Structure 1
Amino acid sequence: MPKCFIDPSAALIFGAILSILLVTALATRFENAAWQAKVDEFRQFKGHADIVMFGDSLTASGHWQEMFPKLSIINRGISGERVGSALLRLDQITAAQPRLVFIMLGINDIRRSTSPDDVAASYGKIINRLADVESIVVQSTLLTNSEVHNAAIKRLNSALIALCSKAANCRFVDLNVPLSRDGSLRPDLTTDGIHLNGAGYRVWENQLRPMMAAVSAER
Structure 2
Amino acid sequence: MTMLQKQIPIVTTRFNNETWAENISYRSTSNHKGCIYGAPIKMSVKIWGNSLVFVIEMNNSTNKIEGVGLIRNAIQFDKSSTTPINNNNRSNHKVYETRNYNRYIYKSDFRIDRDTIQKYNPRLVTILNHILFKEKTHVKRGSGLTILPEKLLKHQLCNNLNINQELKNIFQQVFTQIMDVETDQRLETEIEPEPEPESEPESEPKTLEPEK
When normalised by structure 1's length, the TM-score is 0.27
Say which structure is richer in helix.
1
- Return the index of the structure with the highest Cα Rg: 1
- The structure showing larger relative contact order (alpha-carbon pairs under 8 Å, at least 6 residues apart) is 2
Structure ranking higher in strand proportion: 2
TM-score, structure 2 normalization: 0.27
